[in-house]
Amino acid sequence: MLCLVEPVTHLLTGACLSRALGFPARARYATAACVIAAELPDADFVYRLGGPLLYFQHHRGWTHALWSLPLQAAAVVGILYGLHATRRKWKKRRSVEEPAPVRWPALFFMALLALLSHLLLDWTNNYGVRPFAPFNPRWYSGDLVFIVEPLLLLVLSMALVVPFLFSLVHREMGIRRPRYQGRALSAVALVLMAGLWFYRSLQQGDAATVVDAQEFRGGRILRRSLNPYPIDPYRWHVVVETPQNFQSGTVDTRMNLFETDPQQIYAKPQVTLATLAAKQSWLGEIYLDWSRFPLVVDTGTVGDTHPELSPTPAEAALRNVSFSDLRFRYDVLGMHSSEPPLSAEAWVDANRRVQEAYFGGVEQKGAH
Q: What is the pLDDT of residue 175?
A: 57
Cα(143)–Cα(228) distance, integer angstroms: 7
Which of 176, 128, 63 is CA-nearest to residue 342? 128
Could you tell me if 41 and 115 are in contact, meaning their C-beta atoms sit under 8 angstroms apart? Answer: yes
Nearest-angstrom CA–CA distance, 248 and 266:
8
The H-or-E segment that residue 249 falls in is strand 245-252
Q: Yes or no: say if 345 and 358 are a contact pair by the CB < 8 Å rule.
A: yes
**Residue 100 gets which letter from DSSP?**
P
pLDDT averaged over 10-residue windows placed end to end, the chain, 368 residues: 70 95 87 96 95 95 97 97 83 56 91 98 95 93 93 94 65 57 89 97 97 91 96 96 95 95 90 96 96 96 92 94 95 69 95 95 84
What is the predicted pLDDT for the residue at 74? 98
* The residue type at 6: E
Q: For position 286, what pLDDT does the model report?
A: 96
Q: Which residues contact 145 (CB under 8 A, 6 or more apart)?
A: 124, 125, 152, 196, 197, 200, 228, 230
pLDDT of residue 1: 45
**Pairing state of beta strands 257-259 and 354-359?**
unpaired
User: What dihedral angle (degrees, nearest 10) is formed by the CA atoms of 43, 47, 48, 51?
Assistant: -170
Per-residue confidence (pLDDT) for residue 102, from 0 to 100: 83
The rounded distance, in Å, linking the Cα atoms of 34 and 19 is: 10
State the pLDDT at residue 162. Answer: 82
Residue 102: left (phi > 0), alpha (psi -120 to 50), or beta?
beta
Distance of CA 193 to the CA centre of its chain: 16
